[in-house]
Structure 1
């Protein structure tokens, strides 16, 4: 969701606070600006949406990439709503002979489910050198050699950038990337069982890869994917085997976010990977923020995307949201902040102590700090300690789904 689109919860308990001006650890020039100061504990392994699948990574990818669907920020239970699409797609069902079936048809009668996604026109990508072109319309940074890459160490070192509109082909290209043999998407096996033609595409790409050098670019537009088709510039269609109602929820995950062909081509030029100039390091999207600094051992910086299409803060939620003030910003333009600065904190105790000193705007409560931060009431309710209230800290609690298990070795004689 908008503002700062977290699709996960940082912790069960979230504290927010602001440091005093006398104890402000950041430069005077940054005071009064709309900057969020936060931290991350684990280095993101993948920022390429075809591979990214962890909570540490979604902190960044959810701000940059936009799959067709998202979750409503406030409604519970979690409710899917459009993001770049104009509606949440409803599947159409067909039998073996291609005859359309009613929505109430039994699952065993359904041979295929078809989802048609129509995008909202006018959505544009962040500025990026992959979109830059010369006077003839040809890519400006194509076929680069080592000499042309001399002095280029980050994306910001490319002098020219441009943008273009988001189109259906970008989503189709990313779905094909799920089958790319060199990317090893964690959901390929599962999706190959469902998306018609994806397994066959994987086999074709495997055969192609064996004929090429390890770092060669494979143009996925040369390969057909029978179950994913372009209807028009802003519409594409996905055909699944059988009935799979869970699929619509996959459309809210980064795996199904768009990746433009020219971005993939740009990053696969010789010498780019050696400089960490890859989609895994510098993602490209249409979301409210773009990653302008990536030092995963120290600091990562998200800045407002000047081409963001805009979104409004929701006006609906649960009854208690009104009481808690979560609807006070109803209808306001998002995002609310201009930058988000993330610093690496490997341990929870330094993270908590720096939060208390004003380094960070929010912190979860670790077990080591729990007694200092909160008190449990007679009825089991959680309240801030007097010490925390005296510092002007607010307590926000949230509930999230979790899975825990315990394993027992029943063959051990003990």
Structure 2
């Protein structure tokens, strides 16, 4: 269905995250334990089903991909993760060659029978296997769209396995080649500047074949990755507990970022080995009030401010109220890459064929009032589809149909007929 954006009624949410100095601690918890929250149930911990924010966040604690985004640099910048360096790309843009880091091991797990439970080294072939899982028609991955029509021979491999009783992972894919243990070559049907960015998504993270076969249908609840944490407890509707992976490789907190990061204390941990926490406990709150009360009781290290509690926490000048400051709570403001928009149905005979009517509705909309009523002024009204923090964002651009102007709306309605 063809659609046109109604107004750049797009919000980049500014989430107010409160941090508390003294949190609830169990005697059994390590001293460096982080108490976090999720506002939705965790659907599972298999990368190919990471189609929601909350499951994807948890998956990122244990699994990793070839590339990742620099923690501090803006606009968001891709850097190597499980790759030694950024890939070599052929002149025609169709062949992408990655060198895999040596000495990276999957966490210890009973699935590795050949090594008596000792985690084995990551290989380029693990990415070939993981990419094939994403394409496997019998697994109905939520992320197949990432590779659909892009990698040479992968669609054909998928189509052929649709007809087979069982998926043939031994059959090669023309565009996924491993010349040696640590080299992965990806051949694309057409050049794609966006493709490398898709490799930072959880869908393309590396999983070991041994774990998938060992756990079968329960693999979604038994993650085995190369990441900084390993799963200790998993209750999708109440709590997820992660503990530091003792076999995690040497990685360090960045020592550079953006101007002003030092003043914001974002470089205080420069050069420290990762992860910074020994344990992470994620509590599931599907209702905002229990979440907020738990935070105020010191059981959570941070919390967003529910809409109904905004006025009790924030002053008219958008500062934290003194009664919360006395508890050791501080406020942190950060622009989120979350976009909300409204669209016209261009197949509607009235709306779709009348440009002036669409423009009139756009300028008639009071975006400031909408922000006040629904977001407590915690949103930025976007002038286009690219949010701050991404390459291509222009802070000086002003969309002429994003400005509230009732008189102009009346003129446009006259032209609309």
State how far apart, in whole Å, the 1-side matches of 2:45 and 2:127 are: 17
Aligned pair count? 338
Three-state SS of the structure 2 residue aligned to 1:75 is coil
Find out whether 1:336 has 2:317 as its counterpart: no
Three-state SS of the structure 2 residue aligned to 1:343 is strand
Q: Aligned match of 1:208 in 141, 164, 184?
A: 164
Q: CA deviation at 1:310?
A: 2.2
1:4 counterpart residue number: none
1:349-360 pair list within 5 angstroms: 349-360=289-300
Q: Under a length normalisation based on structure 1, what TM-score does the superposition of the two structures give?
A: 0.77
Three-state SS of the structure 2 residue aligned to 1:311 is coil
State how far apart, in whole Å, the 2-side matches of 1:348 and 1:393 are: 18
Three-state SS of the structure 2 residue aligned to 1:369 is helix
1:195 counterpart residue number: 151
Tell whether the 8 Å contact from 1:374 to 1:385 is kept in structure 2 after alignment.
Answer: yes
Q: Aligned match of 1:185 in 129, 141, 145?
A: 141
Find out whether 1:346 has 2:286 as its counterpart: yes
Q: CA deviation at 1:90?
A: 4.0
RMSD: 2.2
State how far apart, in whole Å, the 1-side matches of 2:285 and 2:332 are: 22
1:285-300 pair list within 5 angstroms: 285-300=225-240
Cα 1:203/1:303, change in 2 over 3 Å? same
Structure 2: runs of 5 or more not aligned: 1-11, 352-417
State how far apart, in whole Å, the 2-side matches of 1:362 and 1:261 are: 37
1:362 counterpart residue number: 302
Tell whether the 8 Å contact from 1:66 to 1:84 is kept in structure 2 after alignment.
Answer: yes
Q: Deviations over 1:150-207 (max 9, x none)?
A: xxxxxxxxxx632110110101100111221121123324523111101111012112
Q: CA deviation at 1:57?
A: 0.8
2:203 counterpart residue number: 255
Q: CA deviation at 1:225?
A: 0.7
Q: CA deviation at 1:383?
A: 1.9
Q: Aligned match of 2:334 in 398, 403, 410?
A: 398
Q: Under a length normalisation based on structure 2, what TM-score does the superposition of the two structures give?
A: 0.76
Q: Aligned match of 2:110 in 120, 129, 132?
A: 129
2:190 counterpart residue number: 242
Structure 1: runs of 5 or more not aligned: 1-8, 95-111, 138-159, 213-217
Cα 1:369/1:172, change in 2 over 3 Å? same
1:168 counterpart residue number: 124
Q: Deviations over 1:41-79 (max 9, x none)?
A: 211223211221211112211111110111111111101
Tell whether the 8 Å contact from 1:289 to 1:303 is kept in structure 2 after alignment.
Answer: yes
1:141-160 pair list within 5 angstroms: none
Tell whether the 8 Å contact from 2:44 to 2:236 is kept in structure 1 after alignment.
Answer: no
State how far apart, in whole Å, the 1-side matches of 2:140 and 2:123 are: 25
1:37 counterpart residue number: 35
Q: Aligned match of 2:100 in 94, 115, 119?
A: 119
State how far apart, in whole Å, the 1-side matches of 2:133 and 2:306 are: 39
1:367-382 pair list within 5 angstroms: 367-377=307-317, 382=318
Tell whether the 8 Å contact from 2:106 to 2:225 is kept in structure 1 after alignment.
Answer: yes
2:16 counterpart residue number: 13
Cα 1:53/1:370, change in 2 over 3 Å? same
Q: CA deviation at 1:370?
A: 1.1
1:226 counterpart residue number: 174
